[in-house]
Structure 1
């Protein structure tokens, strides 16, 4: 239906311009809307004004009949609810029937993380005399030492690093900027790479790129390339676990909280909008719990 296509196009522009949504997010919204539009056409609705609570319940039933997970259903309903909220703002509809639907949230799995001993194995495998070894070490130190996302790491520019105060200027989701501190290990690795290995890599491409992390040909590395670098490190370190950029982010948050950092500080460092996103990291290791117990409880000490 033409009117559905028009509404979808207007909504897409709203996501891109007003919400600064990533192409990945826009793609998910559009996919969910296409499913809903197919339902609208199948049920013979002539206008979105006709969508009421009964229609929403029928749509929900259709989703559950496909044996989708509760999480998938919740995401789809959330997408369509946002779409209808936009239509209500634009006076296309009078009320948002999806606002009255309440779906229980699925329990969030505890994020995986690396123990300090496992991190040490990764830190020991890179050759500091090799340009790629220097780059890999700087990548590892930056991801673990700051907790930044792989996309944030991939887009870092030389001017974003302030060695005088030890901070990175990071551009996160929704183009929001934040400053993230880094420590002495990350500083040493970044300084060596930038003043030695990076220059040698840059000579291969002959470019004057300002991107910090380069691939073996001297061009800006991709997020996929960073994941591959970590995978190769894992294999060299003979680790049986899967190491990916987000696991290093989980590890950063877990180690910070385990060592006494408060939740609000970790939230700010990670660039989370809400505290609930950070609360998934409040788990602690069994060893850490045991150490606290043994050192704190009067009847635990020998």
Structure 2
């Protein structure tokens, strides 16, 4: 009679123990643990000999070779995740006594500077083109225009727009309750034009049969809350109609911050609008103030302009 439970291979058995370690000991969330295990699985494949896992002969050069191979053609962020996950696995292997030395320090780091890239912002006229691409004669256009106004004028994240509830709009006080990262709840001023866009959508665009208290819902039945990618899809569709390059919702958040800096708004104020916990997170926008950077530049010692 066949066993009710499939017998795991030595590799999968080790990976299952490692997954439980990540969840129970390290306290990782399930999605993060899954990513770590995926990297561990790819690395374990390189250590199989004659059907068995061989950790005893593991050397630093094997780690370097794996990182180079796994990172080839990948983004800096993906490469860094690979390195972090591999180091985590090596710590686990040492704790379990599968390797004699803690080899996590032998994993090479991935070069990357946090403030190296400039935020990719739109020109004001392109923001207007994006908004104008929403056909407000339709329910769909009313909804998308209101969402884009929240993104462009308040710098909300896509998830914050999607999670907005009817009770979060305080019409009397002219404020909006935003549920941000880390379960933070904050109240933001509601600009008149954004309020008008929301009111127009709620009066003429939101279906009477909408399910739940979520502000933005699907235009097709069943009229339930948007999917996780619904807001970004709306931005991408509007960009396509406007003849603009493909973009996501975060592009409008970058654009708002860039426009503020170029208008002379101090970084602490920009950080407050974006609701950044640390000013360092906002510092990347200092580089878009080209005129300010030019004034700070020191003359070349040789005297050349």
Select 2:199's aligned residue among 185, 188, 191.
191
Match of 1:35 in 2: 42
Higher mean C-alpha deviation, range 37-46 or range 162-171: 37-46
> Relative to 1, partners in 2 of residues 1:157 and 1:92: Cα closer, same or farther, differing over 3 Å?
farther
Select 1:212's aligned residue among 212, 215, 224.
215
Higher mean C-alpha deviation, range 65-74 or range 132-141: 65-74
- Note if 1:131 corresponds to 2:139: yes
8 Å contact from structure 1 (residues 81, 96) kept in 2: no
- What SS does the corresponding residue of 1:282 show, helix, strand or coil? helix
State the alpha-carbon separation in 2 of the partners of residues 266 and 14 from structure 1: 38
How much has 1:137 moved relative to structure 2?
A: 1.3
Select 1:224's aligned residue among 223, 226, 229.
229
State the alpha-carbon separation in 2 of the partners of residues 99 and 267 from structure 1: 35
- What SS does the corresponding residue of 1:283 show, helix, strand or coil? helix
State the alpha-carbon separation in 1 of the partners of residues 278 and 39 from structure 2: 24
If each structure's helix is expressed as a fraction of its own residues, which one has the higher value? 1
- Note if 1:158 corresponds to 2:166: yes
Match of 2:252 in 1: 248
State the alpha-carbon separation in 2 of the partners of residues 7 and 67 from structure 1: 22
CA RMSD of aligned residues (A): 3.6
- Note if 1:168 corresponds to 2:168: no
Match of 2:282 in 1: 278
- What SS does the corresponding residue of 1:167 show, helix, strand or coil? strand
State the alpha-carbon separation in 1 of the partners of residues 68 and 247 from structure 2: 34
State the alpha-carbon separation in 2 of the partners of residues 29 and 146 from structure 1: 35
How much has 1:253 moved relative to structure 2?
A: 2.2
> Deviation string for 1:23-68 (max 9, x for gaps)?
3x44433322222333444597667xx69xx734421223325661
How much has 1:180 moved relative to structure 2?
A: 5.5
Match of 1:296 in 2: none
Task: Tell me the TM-score normalized by structure 1.
Answer: 0.73
Task: Tell me the TM-score normalized by structure 2.
Answer: 0.72
> Relative to 1, partners in 2 of residues 1:280 and 1:8: Cα closer, same or farther, differing over 3 Å?
same
How much has 1:104 moved relative to structure 2?
A: 4.6
Which structure: larger Rg? 2
> Relative to 1, partners in 2 of residues 1:65 and 1:34: Cα closer, same or farther, differing over 3 Å?
closer
Any unmatched runs of 5+ in structure 1? 294-302
Between the two proteins, the alignment pairs up a number of residues equal to: 273
1:55-66 aligned within 5 A:
55-65=59-69
How much has 1:281 moved relative to structure 2?
A: 2.8
Select 2:20's aligned residue among 5, 9, 15.
9
> Relative to 1, partners in 2 of residues 1:99 and 1:4: Cα closer, same or farther, differing over 3 Å?
same
8 Å contact from structure 2 (residues 240, 246) kept in 1: no
How much has 1:142 moved relative to structure 2?
A: 0.9
